[in-house]
Amino acid sequence: MTELYDLAKRDRLAFWADQAHELYWHKPFTKTLNWSDAPFAKWFEDGQINASYNCLDRHVLAGLGDRVALFFEGEPGDSKVFTYSELLAETKKAANALIALGIESGDRVAIYMPMIPETVIAILAVARIGAVHSVVFGGFSSDSLRSRIDDAQAKLVITADGGFRKGRAHPLKEAVDQALQEGNCPSVEHVLVVERTKNDVTFGPKDTWWHDALSNAATEHVAAGFDSEHPLFILYTSGTTGKPKGILHTTGGYLTGASYTHRTVFDLKPNTDVYWCTADVGWITGHSYVVYGPLANGATQVIYEGTPDTPSFERWWQIIAKYHVSIFYTAPTAIRTFMKIGREIVEGHDLSSLRILGSVGEPINPEAWNWYKEVVGGSRCEIVDTWWQTETGSIMISPIPGAFKTKPGSAQRPLPGITIGIVDELGAPVEKTAEGSVAGYLTIDEPWPSMLRGVWGDPERFKETYWNKFPGKYFAGDGARFDEDGDIWLLGRIDDVIKVSGHRLSTAEIESALVEHHWVAEAAVVGAKDEITEQAVVAFVILRQDEIADAPSETDIAKILRDWVTQKIGAIARPRQIMVVTELPKTRSGKIMRRLLRDVAEGRPVGDVTTLADSSVMTAINDKLHLGASD
């Protein structure tokens, strides 16, 4: 694998063209990159390609139709196997069903589903006909779903009656009904509903069962090629403002990035490996490393519907043993959870099939890294700590197995073809010394195929968020430093984005949800350090005295407001703690000083308060906390 570094160094664009040539092109490209309209990139622009064809038809035509594509494990214990031929047959029917509902190339389709095979089929069917999917994580509330449907102007929603989570049938169709009620989301013409849990659902004139639509659909469907820059999907992610951004990815470049990184970082041997990524398809990791990367590479993979603790914490390890998983990809939060429970639960299972272990979503601390290596990996597996983002589309920084010695806690080097920088506030590269560098801002210095192509409907926001801070460079929003060997250490977000269990949340979005409640006059949200989830949501609120005259006690208020955030955004954004305060620390220009609130939330002595307009505020907040009036 080390030769990839040399190849990419010698001729970066030729290297990317080679990676793209691993895919099937309906019409070959002659131009690799057009960067003349930077930061709007065009990769392989005169080529035509079909993502679904590359994930399915290509393998079946190569004689691999009987290879298992998906081992599905349902939470209640049911399981199902799909070969590549079977997955293709279902996808063709689903594509025809979408066409019958009037979906055309370029139309947006929202997908709000549990982790079941139909979700993968739905995604591949949408892509197959050139429509654009917008997957919304099933844990998001109906309000979040509604704003995403509206922003993308989705014509169709694909959902399920429910999904199994933590031993319960978690409803989904109900949330779709709520999102669409009272004439909301007028762009939606149809709703397709997969039957999974047999929950009671109400059917209206827009609703059709998935199984009816598929059984009425023609079985043959010939996939056409689309321009390489044809939109493939939109995925909403949190930024520094209250409104999530629709990150846009296009076909040829994205698929090149997802497949190249999947086979390289995981050292994939498609005919022998069994791969399992625990991410939900609602996140970018599920897009690139459950759907597009593994399937484009003809991998055999496991998908699991539920949570790691159902019916017990044995579940994941049983699944690894049952399917002889050899490549496993998960988040540090999960590792830390198991560390806390104790190694016995892992050690009781035969995990000898494992050979590569991946980590993603947040920095992995050296203790968790070592535990992962030793307890899960039996000290024999390679660990790959992979840094990337929704926006980058695929892994940017990671060791390549066997290429060099790994280091606990460091994502180490940019992948071949990727150019990374660390700069100071003025954009000057931080100086590398024998001891390593100081911390700076992480940048990506040259365009790459799977880069985002924009923010849906907002080209200005795209330029402003990612390209204006350091002209010509992509600004990632993370802090980082080089160590003495030139290896990269990620230091977390430097903006108001927080990571809770690897999930990305915006403090501003949670604040605006809180102030939508009539009790709340003002809110400030911070990410406080958490032993398991890396960060946790802690909110400080000022109540409106006129509105709370007969409100319950402060404890009840906190509980009600925490529920409110769950209802507004989703359970992942639920504050760990809400503190009722009478004032918030602000500078003279009125900016909330979150640094001080973080000190409070993390139980530290409060730092420098000299820039506060009123320095007694922090004393008041602290005194109040010591009286025990928190959540």
- For ligand WT7, the binding residues (CB under 6 A) are 237, 284-285, 360-363, 385-390, 411, 476-478, 490, 493, 499, 504
- Considering beta carbons, is residue 361 or 414 the nearer one to ligand WT7? 361
Please tell me the distance from the alpha carbon of residue 525 to that of residue 401, in angstroms, as a whole number. 39
Q: Closest distance between ligand WT7 and the C-beta of residue 360, in Å?
A: 5
DSSP state of 564: H
Measured CA to CA, the distance from residue 327 to residue 601 in angstroms comes to: 38
Comparing CB distances to ligand WT7, the nearer of 42 and 245 is 245
State the Cα–Cα distance between residues 540 and 514, nearest whole angstrom.
Answer: 10
Encoding tokens for residue 342?
């104790």
Which of the 8 DSSP states describes residue 571? Answer: G
Nearer to ligand WT7, 293 or 363 (CB): 363
What is the token pair recorded at 514? 């809180």
What distance in Å separates the CA atoms of residue 488 and residue 30, rounded to the nearest whole number?
35
Q: Is residue 327 within 8 Å of 274, Cβ to Cβ?
A: yes
The secondary element (H helix, E strand) that includes residue 508 is helix 507-515
At closest approach, how far in Å is the CB of 496 from ligand WT7? 12
- Provide the sign of the torsion angle of the four alpha carbons 223, 225, 226, 231, taken in this order: positive
**Least gap, CB of 379 to ligand WT7 (angstroms):** 21
Question: Whole-number minimum distance, CB 477 to ligand WT7, in Å?
Answer: 5
Q: Nearer Cβ to ligand WT7, position 191 or 572? A: 572
User: Residue 520 — φ and ψ, nearest 5°?
Assistant: -100, 125
Measured from the CB atom, is 45 or 267 closer to ligand WT7? 267
* Least Å from the CB of residue 352 to ligand WT7: 26
The CB-of-285 to ligand WT7 minimum distance in angstroms stands at 5
Distance CA 447, CA 418 (A): 8
Q: 365 or 630, CB closer to ligand WT7?
A: 365
Q: How far is the CB of 479 from ligand WT7 (least distance, A)?
A: 9
CB of 499 to ligand WT7, least distance (A): 6
Distance CA(455)–CA(459), nearest Å, equals: 6
User: Which residues does residue 211 pair with via DSSP β-bridges, in sequence order?
Assistant: none
How far apart are CB 164 and ligand WT7 at their closest, in Å? 24
Amino acid code (one letter) for 545: Q
Nearer to ligand WT7, 53 or 475 (CB): 475
Give kind and range of the element (H or E) at residue 512: helix 507-515
Closer by beta carbon to ligand WT7, 284 or else 520: 284
CB of 487 to ligand WT7, least distance (A): 13
Q: Which two tokens stand for residue 380?
A: 């024999």
| Burial status of residue 364 (CB atoms within 10 A of its CB: 0-12, 13-18, 19 or more) | buried
Complex with ligand WT7: residue 363 or 575, whichever CB lies closer: 363
> Least separation, in Å, of the C-beta of 528 and ligand WT7?
16
Tokens 């490996």 found at: 273
Helix axes 12-20, 251-265, angle to 10 degrees: 90
C-beta closer to ligand WT7: residue 363 or 454 = 363
CB hemisphere CA count around 313 (13 angstroms)? 15
| Measured distance CA(525)–CA(412) in Å, rounded | 32
Burial of 445 (0-12, 13-18, 19+ CB in 10 A): middle
Q: Is cis: bond before 575, omega within 30 of 0?
A: no
CB of 389 to ligand WT7, least distance (A): 4
- C-beta of 239 vs 416, nearer to ligand WT7: 239
In the complex with ligand WT7, the residue whose CB is nearer, 107 or 487, is 487
Distance CA 131, CA 75 (A): 31
Q: Which residues contact 485 (CB under 8 A, 6 or more apart)?
A: none
Provide, rounded to whole angstroms, the least separation between the CB of residue 107 and ligand WT7.
Answer: 25
With respect to ligand WT7, which residue has the nearer C-beta, 244 or 363?
A: 363
Give least dist CB 45 to ligand WT7, A.
Answer: 26
Question: In whole angstroms, what is the distance from residue 135 CA to residue 531 CA?
Answer: 30
Closest separation in Å from C-beta 364 to ligand WT7: 7
Spatial separation of the C-alpha atoms in residues 409 and 411, rounded to whole Å: 7
Q: From CA 408, how far away is CA 150, in angstroms rounded?
A: 43
- Rounded Cα distance between 32 and 13, Å, is 7
Which helix or strand (DSSP H or E) is residue 236 part of? strand 231-237
Q: Based on CB atoms, which residue is closest to ligand WT7, 330 or 389?
A: 389
The 3-class SS string of 281-327 reads: CCCHHHHHHHHHHHHHCCCEEEEECCCCCCCCCCHHHHHHHHHCCCE
| Residue 571 tokens, joined | 């359970």
Q: What does 496-556 look like in DSSP terms, one character per residue?
A: SEEEETTEEEEHHHHHHHHHTSTTEEEEEEEEEEETTTEEEEEEEEEE-TTT-TT---HHH
Q: Looking at this protein, which amino acid is placed at residue 415?
A: L
Pick the closer one to ligand WT7 by CB: 227 or 385. Answer: 385
Between 194 and 476, CB nearer to ligand WT7: 476
Q: In the complex, what is the shortest distance from the CB of residue 374 to ligand WT7, in angstroms, rounded to a whole number?
A: 19
